[in-house]
Structure 1
Amino acid sequence: MRAVLAVHPGSGGGAAERLKGVVAARLRERVDRLELWTGDPAGAAGGDLLVVLGGDGAVHQAVQVCAGTGTALAVLPAGGGNDFARALGIPLDPLRALDTLLDALASGRRRVLDLGRADDGCWFATVLCAGFDAAVARLAAALRWPTGPHRYDVAVVGELARFRPKPVALSFDGDRWELEATLVAVGNTGYYGGGIPVCPAADPGDGLFDITVVGRAGRADLIRLLPRLRTGAHLAHPAVRTVRAREVLIEGNGWPVVADGEPAGTVPVSVRCVPGALAIVL
């Protein structure tokens, strides 16, 4: 087996950089050949296994390399959010995740997952969002302090003062909704924003997205609604609608769009669920 270890030095405040030597040494005990790669793994395509030591941004880059290919992905979470690992039950401690990976390599254990794909060819593994949550994610990514999930809390406060609902049209599997909305989240898995279960029932093996739409909500409504997002209780709020679909088109305004926490343009955007697009060792 030829494996590549892609290390993102800045992930987790430098945690990935500090751990790379230990991780590489232990991986070499299980694979025939290991290459060490720093930063974006786009140039590391072609191996049997791509191991990512980093956060969700690193996973997003790796998914672009592995999707629809013969290269399997493995994730050792070392970032601030780690939502992909959380959704799949991968230990959030990178060394515990390494133990799990080594056991999976010894036994040949792996899983095949669905991925989302946007009309521009961008793949996503967790959640693609548009509207308030995308604006929050974009601001959080620009913050240098605080670190970890608390960045999102600070970004929420920053966006509450200026964000307003807008008309949006959603077309999915032959149906169409037109409404004033605050956010749209298209979930392949359930979490974003460092552990927020925005689409709590999303299953990356069922061939469908779980889509959560928050309708018209003013600042006071959002202040009351946002704490419910942390527990999944937001689904019971009267402003929230959910639907499951294979494809969805979001249009009607120029909202920012974020996929896996990374900027992905603006509305309009069309996405589809691609079953079995990613093999993962875990």
Structure 2
Amino acid sequence: MGVRAALAVHPDSGKGAAARIAGTVAARLRDHVERLDLVAANTVEQSRLLMDRSHSDGLDALVVLGGDGAAHQAVQFCARTGVALGLVPCGTGNDLARALGVPTDPIDAVDAVAAALREGRRRRLDLGTVGDTWFATVLCAGFDAAVNERANRMRWPRGPRRYDLAILAELASFRARTLVVDSDTGRVELPAVLVAVGNTRYYGGGVPICPEADPEDGLFDVTVVGEATRRELVRMLPSLRTGAHLDHPAVTTLRARRLTLSGGDWPVYADGESLGRLPVSVSCVPRALAVLG
């Protein structure tokens, strides 16, 4: 029996780009599978219902055409069912695809997925868990999560400028708070402005906040930015784009499989999705996700 696959299309991803190329992507996949189901949904509820329906009919692989939000929902499904995940990035961030070395061009990416389907190539990756929720990239709390939360509430402007304005607004009001990191390697307690728990390197559209994170080593890389003035934060922001922030004296790093974050009443985001507020307990589950490639 050949491979049974589904293509999950999130039409709004990439300002509608996913909808425009869905037919091309589906055509390139059909030659390499026995059956291809189309799952097109913009809401979490629709996506879950259609994925479950497809899985009940038998499913070997789920290919996602969309951004990080779409990938996050697919990870919930694939980790639960054991179905292999394929990524065709078509969003604004594409941080999971970037971390896994998926081609940035959607057509090149679908050709890579098709080759993996044809040759039966799969990788096993670690995932993070918070309660019943899985995450594949980075969990963050503090300043960066507050920026994400503020930007999500803003209706204007659209695109990257919205995040620029959210950063400026948070810089004006954000204050360091005592952060406690209890892990299987010890305890860290210090005034801090943000903490990032990385299963992979990137968040925020290509920021390598945990530049040495490896999703196949069974451990998180944790980056803590300690107490810093607004001026110091502004100076540090450019270094985040290169990973040079690890050399800053305010930055502390550690590696752990399990940890609890507590202290201030900070918002918590993982894979760009809201997970409530601190405190939160996080675990790394080795080899929890099968990925085509």
Q: TM-score range by the shorter chain?
A: over 0.9
Contact preservation (8 Å) 1:49, 1:71: yes
Q: How far 1:151 moved relative to its partner? A: 4.3
Aligned residue for 1:9?
11
Aligned residue for 2:69?
57
| Deviations, residues 114-162 of structure 1 (Å, cap 9, x unaligned) | 00001x2110000000000111122333445555555433322221111
Q: How far 1:18 moved relative to its partner? A: 0.5
> Do structure 1's residue 268 and structure 2's residue 283 form an aligned pair?
no
Aligned residue for 1:93?
105
C-alpha distance in structure 2 between counterparts of 1:143 and 1:7, whole Å? 26
Provide the aligned length of Structure 1 versus Structure 2.
Answer: 281
Q: How far 1:222 moved relative to its partner? A: 0.4
Aligned residue for 1:153?
164
- Letter of the 2:196 counterpart: A
> Do structure 1's residue 258 and structure 2's residue 269 form an aligned pair?
yes
Aligned residue for 1:117?
129
| Deviations, residues 87-111 of structure 1 (Å, cap 9, x unaligned) | 0100111111011111111111111
- Letter of the 2:260 counterpart: L
Aligned residue for 2:48?
42
Aligned residue for 2:30?
28
- Distance change (3 Å), C-alpha of 1:224 and 1:172: same
- Distance change (3 Å), C-alpha of 1:228 and 1:208: same
- Distance change (3 Å), C-alpha of 1:85 and 1:267: same
C-alpha distance in structure 1 between counterparts of 2:157 and 2:30, whole Å? 35
Contact preservation (8 Å) 2:28, 2:111: no
- Letter of the 1:3 counterpart: A
Q: Alignment partner of 2:214: what SS?
A: coil
| Deviations, residues 148-206 of structure 1 (Å, cap 9, x unaligned) | 55543332222111111111111011411111110000000000000000000000000
Q: TM-score, normalised by structure 1?
A: 0.96
Give the fraction of aligned pairs with identical amino acids, expressed as a percent. Answer: 61
1:76 to 88, 103, 106: 88
RMSD of the TM alignment (CA)?
1.4
Please, which moves more after superposition, 81-90 or 29-38?
29-38
C-alpha distance in structure 1 between counterparts of 2:164 and 2:63, whole Å? 30
Aligned residue for 1:67?
79
Query: Structure 1, unaligned stretches of length 5 or more?
Result: none
Q: How far 1:218 moved relative to its partner? A: 1.6
